[in-house]
Amino acid sequence: MSGPPLRVLVTGATSGFGEAIARRFHAHGAEVIGTGRRQERLDALAAELGPRFTGLCFDVRDDAARTRALEGLVVDVLVNNAGLALGLGKAWEADLADWETMIDTNCRALVAVTRAVLPGMVAQGRGHVVNISSVAADSPYPGGNVYGATKAFVTQFSANLRADLYDKNVRVTDIEPGMCLTEFSLVRFKGDAARAEGVYRGMDPIRAEDVAEAVSWAVSMPAHVNVSRIELFATAQAHGPFNVARRS
C-alpha cells in the first residue's frame, strides 16, 4: 500500500477473521489497533508484532469501556469484525439470552463503534469502514434465525452508510463470508468441539486468511473505487433448494 502507513482499527482481533486481518494489515506496514476481551491474546500479538500493534482490551458491548477506549481515536480504516453466533435451535426453542447477546454484539456494538470513529474520518476527508457480515444475511437456514437477521442488519447498515458518505471520501465495504474454519462454530456450540468439527467434516472451508485477503484487497483499491460488497463461499458450498413440507 502506497502513501503514509494506514492506521487500522480491528475489533475482535484476538482470533479468527480479526486476528488474520490484523496480521495482514500489519504485514503491509499499517499501524494496527486491535480490540478484544482476552488480554493475554492481545499481549501475545503485541509481543509478536511489535510497536505497530496496540491492543485495547474491552468488550464492545460495554458502553462505558468502549467510550473510554475509543474516545478521540482517529483511524483510516475500521474493520467491524467482532461478532458471533450462538446456538442453532429452532426459533421456538432458542435461548432468548443468546438472541440478545447476538443482537448486542453484532448490531448495537457495531453501530456504536462506527459512530465513535466516523466523525474523525469525515473530518480528515478520508476513511474506510469494512463490516464483516455473512452469507447468512441473504441465505436463511434452519436455526439461523436471529444470527442471520443480525447479519442482514449489518449488510443493510453498510449500504445506508454509503448513502450518507458518498460525498465525504469515506468508503464502505460489506464482506460476507460463508463456511470458514475458525472458532466460529466452537463458540456457536459453546465449546462442544466434536459438534463444531462436524460442521466442516468432509469439505474444504474457506480460512480466516482468505477473508483477510478480501478485506486487504478492498482497502487497497484506488481511492476513487468503492468495493461495496464481497460474498465469499467455499468452493464446496453453494445455495441449496427451498425446504418444502409435504403432506403424506
By annotation, the residues acting in catalysis are: 147
CA separation for the pair 68, 66 (Å, rounded): 5
Grid cell digits, residue 34: 486491535
Going by the DSSP 8-state scheme, the letter that residue 109 receives in this structure is I
Residue where the block lists cell 464482506: 175
C-alpha distances out from residue 71 to 23, 74, 101, 119, Å = 24, 9, 24, 11
- Dig out the grid coordinates for 48 from the structure: 509478536
* Beta strand 7-10 pairing with 77-80: parallel
Q: Is the dihedral of CA 193, 198, 203, 208 positive or negative?
A: negative
Distance CA 9, CA 129 (A): 10
CA angle 132, 191, 99 (to 5 degrees): 55
Cα dist from 129 to 36, 39, 64, 199, whole Å: 18, 25, 22, 30
DSSP-assigned letter for residue 34: E
